[in-house]
Structure 1
């Protein structure tokens, strides 16, 4: 049975926590593990709204956030991200395959994975004579009104650049959130949405799409979903085609859609992360973009020390291979890639550095700026 198979995968991906407890309203931190490995934190959060605990894993990228007010996008992965979305998203972030992002995987404690059948369906339905669903509105409120503010207070997460990622019932939930509040998230990754469980969904998505104001959506299905079960493949593909029709050509939606050839319901999930995350949060520069060595006369314009407002020094140098590097006191050196006249992109800080006659302006792609005045030249 598909639900049992998904529950098994989820149970394997659920994160447990085991140390200090703290309080946060309206969420209570039951336990929290220190980051282990670096950039990886596991929490158990109790929701008074839902009346249950949730396992929440947070993966942070290696990007150095040092500009005042600088933020990073955050991706909220349902179903614990099947245990893959967090580590895989961190790898994509750290290798410049996508814009650096915080990955928040939301799931369940061991033995509680089937609560997803309540939380991820806004309307009640019946399968194999078993009724379930109906908790989607409460879970949506938990996500938007409790968890997002909690994460944004604890991490440098940009409220205006969050992404919702769901697959299967999670894809159905993400589509329902879009239908309810299209601007609730900057982007939506909707994989193999179980639209069959909510007959009114497609019409609601179509009605919401013109109000989406440039939301980015990555919509997918596996070519062989439900293979071996009569009508299974057509059922999932019909849902995909219905959502595609509802979203395609809408002025408020930036849509990418894909049928994964030869893939089943779960088999393409790693590819969904690898393709979907960069689709909604594309990298500032094309992966592997050629970087020409600048003539010495041009590089001499930038080399030297710059004073930051807090007293630190921002140094520009050229390495032995002829490429430009920046170094802020207290942080490791970062490579700079030219992306315009007198402008460079620092992937390790997710920021642009624009030089002028008297100094440089450092600007994070998701907010935050700092002025650096020229101090001296070599």
Structure 2
């Protein structure tokens, strides 16, 4: 069987200075001439799980930008090489320390991961493409959504816009709230999206053998209420000049929301 490839896309592995485990970087090249200020760019975390889908959403939307609000941009996916345990890597890379529900995996790599993005990945991309530093977006789902909010709250100058899909605020909500009080030169743009069925069982899940356990976990984590509450806090903390959006996507749960959120994320990044 012949593998399917994405046109104008590539991947390469990039390691931090001094050695250490590399990250796999996926790129989907923008079409057409670069704007005078450079291309806008969206950085997608957990890219092994959805980069190809995001690329196709962008390319389909860019065919009719006036109708979709989606145009050319550079897509940058950050994932892991084959053979790495992505679950272990993401728990370490996306967290600042132990969370409310520890699972025995290492945590605390957040600062090193952000330093890699800022000091290694972005300069490497700048050597390959003309990029607009004022139009860069960080996009993360679940625990990567928690990381996205943490960078927005504590290092907001790293990106202009932030899209957190189903963010795991329950991991360490207190740290995120504390971060909102930090001073910043410019308020970031923030979009938070969460699925309708992330806090309760969806109708098609009610008859599953593990339904009671699922319902208890979802009630405990309170994904919808926490996401709405954090958006309200961010809107108040960041001030009237900030752009903060919250959207609950009907009919979606924690797993199904990601494809549904992609077009919204691209449109928000380019607005």
Measured against the shorter chain, the TM-score band is: 0.7 to 0.9
1:156 matches 2:130: yes
More helix by share: 2
Q: Which residue of 1 aligns with 2:184?
A: 211
Once the two structures are superposed, residues 97-148 of structure 1 have per-residue CA deviations (whole angstroms, 9 ceiling, x without a partner) of 3242100010011232121111011222364652432111110111111111
Q: Which residue of 2 aligns with 1:54?
A: 23
Q: Which residue of 2 aligns with 1:265?
A: 254
More strand by share: 1
1:44 matches 2:30: no
Larger radius of gyration: 1
1:238 matches 2:225: yes
Q: Which residue of 1 aligns with 2:206?
A: none
Q: How many angstroms does 1:50 deviate by?
A: 6.8
Aligned with 1:52: secondary structure?
coil
| CA separation of 1:107 and 1:271: change in aligned 2, threshold 3 A | same
TM-score by length of structure 2 reads: 0.81
2:192·2:231 contact (CA, 8 Å) conserved in 1?
Answer: yes
Aligned with 2:113: secondary structure?
helix
Aligned with 2:99: secondary structure?
strand
Aligned with 1:63: secondary structure?
coil
Aligned with 1:266: secondary structure?
coil
2:150·2:176 contact (CA, 8 Å) conserved in 1?
Answer: no
Q: Partners in 2 of 1:174 and 1:212 — Cα distance?
A: 19
Once the two structures are superposed, residues 62-94 of structure 1 have per-residue CA deviations (whole angstroms, 9 ceiling, x without a partner) of 1223x7x54110100000062322332333334
Q: Count matched residues.
A: 244
2:191·2:246 contact (CA, 8 Å) conserved in 1?
Answer: yes
1:95 matches 2:95: no
Q: How does 1:162-201 map to 2 (within 5 A)?
A: 162-201=136-175
Q: Which residue of 2 aligns with 1:336?
A: none
1:111 matches 2:78: no
Aligned with 2:173: secondary structure?
coil
TM-score by length of structure 1 reads: 0.60
Q: Partners in 2 of 1:41 and 1:259 — Cα distance?
A: 33
1:86 matches 2:86: no
Q: Partners in 1 of 2:60 and 2:119 — Cα distance?
A: 29
Q: Partners in 2 of 1:225 and 1:203 — Cα distance?
A: 21
Unaligned runs of 5+ in 1: 1-35, 283-378
Unaligned runs of 5+ in 2: 202-210
Q: Which residue of 2 aligns with 1:31?
A: none
Q: Which residue of 2 aligns with 1:376?
A: none
Q: Partners in 1 of 2:96 and 2:173 — Cα distance?
A: 11
Once the two structures are superposed, residues 19-55 of structure 1 have per-residue CA deviations (whole angstroms, 9 ceiling, x without a partner) of xxxxxxxxxxxxxxxxx64421111222236711211
Aligned with 1:91: secondary structure?
helix
For CA contacts below 8 A with separation 6 or more, give which structure has more relative contact order: 2
Quote the RMSD (CA, aligned, Å): 2.2
Q: Partners in 2 of 1:256 and 1:49 — Cα distance?
A: 40
